[in-house]
Chain A
Amino acid sequence: MNNLKIVRWFAKRSIFVVLLVVLSLGSFLSVVPEIFAADIPVVAAKANEGATSGVELPQFESGQSSADSQLPGGQSAAGEGTATAAIEEEEMAPVQYRTFFGLDPRTVVWIVSELHLMFAAFVLGVPIFAVIVEIVGFKGGDIKYDKMAKEFTKLLSAAFATTASFGGLLGFCLFGLYPEFMGHMTNVFSPTMYVYALMFFGEAFTLYGYYYSWEILKGTAAKKWFHIFLGIMLNLFGTGLMFLTNSWATYMMSPAGIVPETGRLVSLYHAVYNPLWMPVNIHRLIANVCFGGFVVGAYAAVKFLGAKSDEERAHYDWMGYVGNFIGVGALIPLPFAGYWLGREVYSASPVMGNIMMGGAFSWTFIIQAILIGMLFIGANYYLWLGMGRIKGSERYTRFFKYLIFIIFVSFAVWLTPHNLPLSGEERAMIGEQYHPFSKYFGVMAAKNAVVNLIILATFFSFLIYRRGNKGEMCSFSEQGKAGKIGIFSALIFCLLMLISYAISLNFVELEENIKVFVKPLILSLYIQSFVVCLAAFLTFKNKGKLGQALLFAVTACIAVLYFWYYGFQVMQKANLVLRYLSVTQVSIVMSCLIMNAIIDVFMFRKAKLVGGIVWGKMPARSQYALILLCVVIVILMGLMGFIRSGLRMDWHVYGVLQDTSQWAYTPTLSYMGRIVGLIVVLFLGLVAFVFWLANLGDKKENKKTNTYEYERVTADYEGDR
């Protein structure tokens, strides 16, 4: 009877999952005919181009017919002799490509690898902040942090097996569908593959050890530290795994350490540490934390919306807040890391760079801009709504309209494309190639300026949020040594960052006529250094708020207004200086964020509380904002995965091993949109299913506990009678 109930209950709950799977399949099937119809003419043209511009690797040449003689499944179309000879030749010829049960192998690998990456991002991102939350809880003695860290890890352990399953499927797909390409990759990277497998053991052991020993390793400080050590090891193994796989993926974009003509490995170190390896490592590391934060935020939002008690609602409201905080915290440095990666792509290959920002992939970056804008707006919106649960925060709500104005105007500039879609009539009326909006808003100088302004505005939102329930401040002298050391440390850090970079700019190797464009950057860094000192000085003199305002104003003037204008100048006259300009811009903004945050912490450390935070008192739309943030970050990851991989165009390994299959074409935007959409639906469906599974045990346990409690109370009551 119980089993029947479970089956019924499962059937009732899983109807959404089934519906999701049906929708996904329907969506996928709708694109399948396109694979064989609409895009194939392009494909055929591509196949005929053959390997004219590429360099075939000798180890694959023996017995290998040209690209146009290769059919899916590895059959040779050039067989002219007898049937037996043809069959023998077929058996002997190495297979370049296979289909996946008749389906396009490229799309299959695309979907599987993206799903693997998304689960992996979650599994690698969440432990980073789970351990930090655990340490915060342990040091602060607050049990609720520990409880939340454990809940994060529970999701992690459920998602880990799915990640591994997708990893296995991806491996089989790659080796099965692209044997020649994987032969090349194995030739170059085989030693690292064994290391990868060994590290995977480490990851699995530490992850399950970390989760299952949670209750056992409680009680003493030594036990808890050992548990935290396990968490740190889990992060080290996870990061190591990601770095290894990143080396394979980035090698495909910027191959190094081999003889390009023959494919012979010269240096495994250089193949691993290829030009794009470190930029991708850093970008992914931060993006994983951001991704994990927003996914956890959505999980908390769903639990909040379904919560039955105030206590539960308060817990998940807090969890959602932490998820959003982590997501936004990682989102702020992400554009800087992305910009670095983009510049290195340009440096590795100007062609790839042009394809990315001005060519075939430029419109995908407009979509990216929209998604990033939505992330910032959603995160700010959640913070503003969150101020509703803080008594005393009404004092700051007047800033909302200015923040909304700044963020939306910046967003408008951020997404304005350089090449606007225009009708013939509009072109005739404008009378030139570019409308002023696209001319002044569509280039990187403008984009960099407004993204920094959005970051500053988001930081300001966070500052007013944390000040929400803080009232009258005490004098800075009452902060004691901690306050002085804190401010002084932040000051030293900022000065080191700004001045060391300013000094290094004096020694950049550039022609004299270009080097003059660097001087304003040096001057800007010194001005910012002075203002940072001034802000610290004012804080010591109990005028911290003035110091903060000054720092905000000067940063906005230099990093946003002046560099917007100066970026245009540099673009025209000395593009090599753009690299230094963007680093200067980032340094100035970061110094403002760091200094202002530290000043705020110590200024309000012992401030009187106006009112408490009423966790759980949030409108439902705030939770939908969290869910939206999760959906947007998943779409963003799907899109960026497509861009990173697609930039290689028709190369497996850029400039070394050409993709001669009929699927080596760049998908249209609509086709890309449908596949990425399918991936997003599949991932969200799977993640919902996995999280539901992770909670099954708890529900049963809770039910058991409740029944036990009821029986115990009843027995006690009977005993009393």
Chain B
Amino acid sequence: MANRRSTFLLIWVITAVGCLYVFLKYASPKIFQMLMAKDHPMPTPSTLMMWYMIMGVLAGLVYATTSNQKFVDFLSFLLPDRGPVIKSFLRKIIFVGFPALVGWFVYTWAIPGAASPVELRIQHPTLPQDFEKLENPFRQADADVQRRCIEEGKVLFQTYCRPCHGSKADGNGPFANSFRLRPINFQDPGTIATVVDNYLFWRIKDGGPGLPAESTPWDSAMPSWKDDLKDDEIWKIIMGEYDTAGVMPRQREKLE
């Protein structure tokens, strides 16, 4: 620690980490609000906030230790020297601010409060084997029949699914706001576009009550339609649903 140059590497690293925090906490919710034309900010979820901050700190530490000289510069900021006054002032802020920050974290973590638990979710419940080999009977039909099925499916979709999933299949139906977990936006390419037809067939037919025991709780309000809809109607709804959402189902691939 003999080297005591007047470098501000430690301060730069702290500033960078601070900027990251401000971006995630205050800037990104507003940016996403503007970009997505929402009427409310889109706050960064606490889990992501934690992960990104850990990575920010890690990136700073990696940078500060990429050479012996940098490492010495980084640490030597904390040692007393005859450097500029600003350095001494910042050092004192660090000595007061760091324990205060830790104390604030401990306080906010330990203070009693009521909050619903953060749940680990998975996207796709396991499709039962009985449904794996099913094929949509109308997908192989000629173009006219397919077109007719899609139109019939759209009508059925608007009748049975629209209240929750919305007329555009964007998850904004009239009932959508009444659920703790909003209905899925099918226009999102990460949802129904990633699964095969028969996966949807299972979800519509068995609904929330038919979800498997593993990976619970599912937190699904999807009803089971097996007593109200015939299989053919479900297949048509699926075709109408994809068409309404403007996405295609995952198609089975041939093995290479």
Contact = CB atoms under 8 A, between A and B. Distances in A.
B175 interface: no
B213 A432 contact: no
A26 interface: no
Given A420-B48, A422-B45, A436 B126 contact: no
B59 A404 contact: yes
A325 B66 CA distance: 18
A429 interface: yes
Interface string B55-66: 110110011011
B52 interface: yes
A358 B124 contact: yes
A504 interface: no
B66 A400 contact: yes
A411 B188 CA distance: 23
B180 A427 contact: yes
B122 A574 contact: no
B121 interface: yes
B215 A360 contact: yes
Interface residues of A, number: 75
B122 A362 contact: yes
Given A431-B182, A573-B248, A404 B62 contact: yes
B193 A424 contact: no
A381 B66 contact: yes
Contacts of A655: 129
Given A53-B130, A404-B62, A430-B42, A412 B118 contact: no
Contacts of B124: 354-355, 358-359, 362
Contacts of B132: 349-351
B215 A359 contact: yes
Interface in A573-589: 573-576, 579
A421 interface: yes
A377 B196 CA distance: 37
Interface in A384-427: 384-385, 387-388, 397, 400-401, 404-405, 408, 411-412, 415-416, 418-427
A350 B252 contact: yes
Contacts of A416: 48, 51
Contact of A576 (B118, B122, B185, B251): B251
A418 B119 contact: no
Contact of B125 (A359, A415, A418, A579): A359
A289 to B, nearest CB: 24
Interface stretch (B32-40, B94-102, B231-239): B32-40
Contacts of B252: 347, 350
Interface in B21-52: 28, 32, 35-36, 38, 40-48, 51-52
A294 to B, nearest CB: 19
Interface in B144-189: 171, 180-185, 188-189
B45 A358 contact: no
A572 B246 CA distance: 8
B256 to A, nearest CB: 7
Interface stretch (A12-20, A98-106, A168-176, A437-445): A437-445
Contact of B67 (A350, A360, A397, A443): A397
Contacts of A431: 38, 40, 42, 182
A354 B118 contact: no
A435 B24 CA distance: 13
The size class of the interface chain B forms with chain A is 35 or more
Contacts of B118: 421-423, 426
Contacts, number: 202
Contacts of B194: 358, 443, 571, 575
Contact of A397 (B66, B115, B119): B66
Contacts of A674: none
A54 B129 CA distance: 9
Interface in B108-125: 115-125
A401 B70 CA distance: 12
A378 B96 CA distance: 33
A571 B120 contact: no
A621 interface: yes
B112 to A, nearest CB: 16
A649 B212 CA distance: 13
Contacts of A359: 122-126, 215
A348 interface: yes
Given A350-B132, A408-B55, A429 B43 contact: yes
A45 interface: yes
Contacts of A573: 247-248
B85 interface: no
A327 interface: no
Contacts of B46: 423, 426
A344 interface: yes
Contact of A621 (B51, B65, B185, B251): B65
B141 interface: no
Given A377-B62, A408-B55, A433-B184, A575 B125 contact: no
Interface in A176-227: none
A415 B66 contact: no
B123 A358 contact: yes
Contacts of B214: 42, 360, 665-666
Given A347-B252, A442-B190, 17 more contacts: A53-B129, A53-B130, A54-B129, A347-B254, A351-B126, A359-B215, A360-B126, A360-B215, A362-B123, A362-B124, A384-B67, A404-B63, A434-B185, A435-B48, A436-B32, A621-B65, A655-B129
CB-CB nearest 6 A-B residue pairs? A424-B116, A358-B124, A358-B123, A408-B59, A571-B189, A572-B189
Interface of A: 42, 45, 53-54, 275, 343-344, 346-351, 354-355, 358-360, 362-363, 377, 381, 384-385, 387-388, 397, 400-401, 404-405, 408, 411-412, 415-416, 418-439, 442-443, 568, 571-576, 579, 619, 621, 649, 655, 665-666, 669
15 contacts: A347-B252, A347-B255, A377-B62, A416-B51, A419-B121, A420-B121, A422-B118, A422-B121, A436-B36, A438-B48, A439-B188, A572-B189, A572-B247, A575-B248, A655-B129
